[in-house]
Amino acid sequence: MNTRLLESKKIIRNTVNRVQYLKQEGNSFIFKTEGRSYPKKIQELLPRNKVQEVDKFNGFLQIENLSDTIFRIRYKEADTIEENETPMVIGTFEGPQNIDISILKDKIEIKTNKININIILYPFRVQVNNFTEKKLCGIGGFEKHDFRQWDSFNAGICYSQSDKSPIAVELFDLDPHEAIYGFGEKFTRLNKVGQTIDILTEEASSTISPRTYKPIPFFVSTKGYGVFFNHSSLMTCWVGSLSSGDIQIAIEDNFLDYFVILGDIKEILSQYTDITGKGVVPPKWSFGYWQSKISYKSAGETLKIARKLRENKIPCDIIHLDTYWFKEDWYCDLEMDKERFPDPEAYFNEMAKMGFKISLWQLPYIPEGSQYFEELKAVDGFVKTRDGEIYDTGIIFSREKRIAACIDFTNPKAVEVYQKWIGRLLKLGAKVIKVDFGEQAPIDGIYHNGKTGRRMHNLYPLLYNQAAAKITKEIHGIGFIWARSAWAGSQRYPVHWGGDSSANWFNIIPTLEAGLSFGLSGFQFWSEDIGGFTGNTGGDLLIRWMQMGLFHSHSRIHGTFKRELYRFNKNVIKICRDYINLRYRLIPYIYGSAIKCVETSLPMTRALVIEFQDDPTVWNIGDQFLFGDFFLIAPIYRADNNRAIYFPEGTWVDWWTKDKIKGKQWINIDSDIDKLPLYVREGAIIPMGPIMQYIDEFEISEIELYIAPFQKDGTTEFTIPVNNEMIKVEYTALKGEHNLKIEKSKVKFKIVVMGNEELKINKE
């Protein structure tokens, strides 16, 4: 990656030193820029105005106020600034309610109803304050020392010394008392301070490395701001790791385009999805248990598994067919093998009678020799080489050597062919498509839309997700997929899972931290391979992973070797089944939380910092999480069954003992193998239904409503989706009186007060 040249300093440094205000156009402010070009690092300790530069250059910078709390900065060394329309950005904005500009001698002040943007003319720098003059965000400016070691690079377009390729750079102040989150599904520590992050989509083949299936060019700070980069080119972010006082950004582009969002983390996530698109609620059945492995091979095998699941009273809604439903394992021709699936329609119907939906695997690298390949080839539907030949990705897992061509989703005709074939399977009876891979789109390939591979590589998963989700929506009504790769905007096409973990204790928390990081990058829904993907799983490891994995939005067991619970020992079967039963009882809470998460753009698997941003103790906690608004999960990730748990502010109730625990303290616990450390936040409204073998197996007649009483005054609300009703519940504590208001419903409610106390709750 050329962006890493900032570390070796093998670049020509172009720096914007000064800006001159030109004019206002609507809610945009246009500046002419003056920069200096340095061919090499100058180490002498000289006054800045004595440094000899080789060249001066001009450009233009535009600051556009999209709302009271969002502004966009674009910069280019040119006479005009291009619009830079991308598929990531779909939101439209009317501008701030009010905007004022003050033109001063040394700076320009732009005020909205919420923030004050100060543009310092020389040295060029942007600082955002609130109306109490508290600094929220600082952008650009000179290095934060006087030795000119090139440890940071303010706004400009640098160039590689070897091939003169451009590298856009920018920096943001990093405070010693600040935490940074986001950048996608990262398997490193949740707080990114001190890390160097490449925004590069990769097949990670691990969940304990810096590689990632789902990089997102977005971060959020505890200081009250977030930044989204409207770029898909390769990018590197040094979060205090190049200069300890800066978040340094480098992008393989010849321009800069980024959005700055102000607010608390919740507000920033909501506004980020205003820019890149809101999520959608997946179908209700998808919140059930998913049975999967690599790979079931036939109708007979999976029908037997379905019957065994029902016989053993293990609730399940989805059975997934992975890589071997074709005539040959991994041969993605989108044709069900005629010998092993002789009557696909009858197969889907038989599964449906037992309450099962079927998920089908595929990938975008198509082996030659099939009708599917030929139809794509006929419309120039594959990524090409520079010589105009079909690009061979080499991603083929068969004995016979074949080309594996990459579908070009920038070609509308290729998308039509893809959706025709996927649509045929969905019409036949499949309910969801596994949108696997997508990380290997050729960086040096030629794409139909004329974009370079270096711009298309990261963007490819968004187009891939979109193509599969749109045909699924057309046929089944909801754009629901099961995807591994993602990019900014992919939250519009849920669900995504965490890739290829290994079946050992070391993989549990890095996978979880990646899911929490993904949630802090604008995604509401996420899953993982319960038990680990590769290797044998079982025993305490599987139990502990199952306990945690059932408290994500979606829960799927998947991997190599056996993954059917009834094939394990009695203790594993009993404990895992008990937790699956608990999940199914919690479906009214889970599905209601999913609806709310889409409305608020908050993740269901939620980092503590989202709810407790002002508590620095939670900033580095990545081994606990909230499930929706009310549950605190502290998974056991070691064989000794011991861990420390931090309880944030408030009062918490132990789900099992009903004991109350005061917040703002650490507690060491030992947890028996059948007990997941599980706690409920005061004010919680937890609706529970009956155990079912699959979702909506029968109509619910009664809901048990668990209430965790407030210890002080407070109000909470929750809307319960049950049968065909949406029932709003409101719980209020005021001056010692507790009131519960439940909307009229055909369903009966049984109130259960948590916390081992006698408490009268007035029901309206």
Residue 592 near residue 553 (C-beta atoms within 8 A):
no
CA 196 from chain center: how many Å?
A: 19
pLDDT of res. 396? 85
Q: What digits encode the pLDDT tens for the residues 79-123? A: 889 899 999 999 999 999 999 999 999 999 999 999 999 999 999
pLDDT of res. 54? 61
Position 686 confidence tier, pLDDT thresholds 50, 70, 90: very high
Position 47 confidence tier, pLDDT thresholds 50, 70, 90: low
Q: In the predicted model, what is the mean pLDDT of the chain?
A: 96
Q: How many CA atoms lie within 13 A of 26 on its CB side?
A: 11
Lowest mean pLDDT among 39-48, 244-253, 556-565: 39-48
Amino acid at 628: G
**SS3 per-residue string spanning 275-300:** HHCCCCCCCHHHHCEEECCCCCCCHH
Backbone angles phi, psi at 492, to 5 degrees: -70, -15
Q: Which long-range contacts (CB under 8 A, 24 or more apart) does 466-473 make?
A: 466/87, 466/409, 466/492, 466/493, 467/409, 467/415, 467/418, 467/419, 468/418, 468/422, 468/433, 468/435, 468/493, 469/493, 470/419, 471/418, 471/419, 471/422, 471/423, 471/426, 472/422, 472/426, 472/432, 472/433
pLDDT of res. 56? 87
Section 276-283 average pLDDT = 98
Q: Is residue 133 pLDDT above 90, yes or no? A: no
Distance CA 214, CA 183 (A): 9
Residue 406 near residue 364 (C-beta atoms within 8 A):
yes
Please state the pTM of the whole predicted model.
Answer: 0.97
Position 762 confidence tier, pLDDT thresholds 50, 70, 90: confident
Q: Is residue 251 pLDDT above 70, yes or no? A: yes
Q: Of residues 439, 513, 611, 654, which has the active-site annotation?
A: 439
User: CA–CA distance from 461 to each of 186, 379, 515 (Å)?
Assistant: 16, 21, 18
Q: Is residue 502 pLDDT above 50, yes or no? A: yes
Q: Is residue 51 pLDDT above 70, yes or no? A: no
Residue 605 near residue 625 (C-beta atoms within 8 A):
yes
Residue 186 near residue 192 (C-beta atoms within 8 A):
yes
Distance CA 337, CA 139 (A): 58
Residue closest to 532 by CA, chosen among 505, 513, 553, 555: 505
Structure tokens at 185: 């599904």
Section 733-744 average pLDDT = 94
Distance CA 677, CA 671 (A): 7
H/E run at residue 653: strand 651-654
H/E run at residue 435: strand 432-435
Q: What's the Rg (C-alpha) of the chain?
A: 27
pLDDT of res. 19? 97
Give the dihedral of Cα atoms 143, 149, 153, 156; nearest 10 deg.
110
Structure tokens at 323: 């890589």
Residue 741 near residue 764 (C-beta atoms within 8 A):
yes
Q: Is 528 helix (H, G, I), strand (E, B) or coil?
A: coil
Structure tokens at 475: 């046929």
Position 52 confidence tier, pLDDT thresholds 50, 70, 90: low
CA 658 from chain center: how many Å?
A: 33
Distance CA 286, CA 478 (A): 11
Lowest mean pLDDT among 44-48, 212-216, 533-537, 672-676: 44-48
Amino acid at 472: T
pLDDT of res. 533? 97
Q: Is residue 222 pLDDT above 60, yes or no? A: yes
Structure tokens at 31: 């500046």
- Higher-confidence residue: 567 or 452? 567
Residue 254 near residue 76 (C-beta atoms within 8 A):
yes
pLDDT of res. 45? 45
Position 627 confidence tier, pLDDT thresholds 50, 70, 90: very high
Distance CA 137, CA 154 (A): 14
Q: Of residues 257, 322, 436, 513, which has the active-site annotation?
A: 436
Core vs surface per residue 684-720: b (16+ CB within 10 A) or e? bbbbbbeebbbbeeeebeebbbbbbbbeeeeebebbb
Q: What digits encode the pLDDT tens for the residues 135-194? A: 999 999 999 998 889 999 999 999 999 999 999 999 999 999 999 999 999 999 999 999
Q: Is 594 left (phi over 0), alpha (psi -120 to 50) or beta?
A: alpha
Q: Is residue 439 pLDDT above 50, yes or no? A: yes
CA 336 from chain center: how many Å?
A: 32
Whether 436 sits among the annotated catalytic residues: the reply is yes
Helix 412-428 with 371-378: angle, nearest 10 deg: 150
Position 44 confidence tier, pLDDT thresholds 50, 70, 90: very low
Whether 439 sits among the annotated catalytic residues: the reply is yes
Residue closest to 91 by CA, chosen among 114, 63, 112, 66: 66
Residue closest to 364 by CA, chosen among 499, 470, 485: 485
Q: What digits encode the pLDDT tens for the residues 313-348? A: 999 999 999 999 999 999 999 999 999 999 999 999
Residue 334 near residue 376 (C-beta atoms within 8 A):
no
Structure tokens at 82: 């291009």
Backbone angles phi, psi at 377, to 5 degrees: -60, -40
Residue closest to 3 by CA, chosen among 246, 241, 234: 234
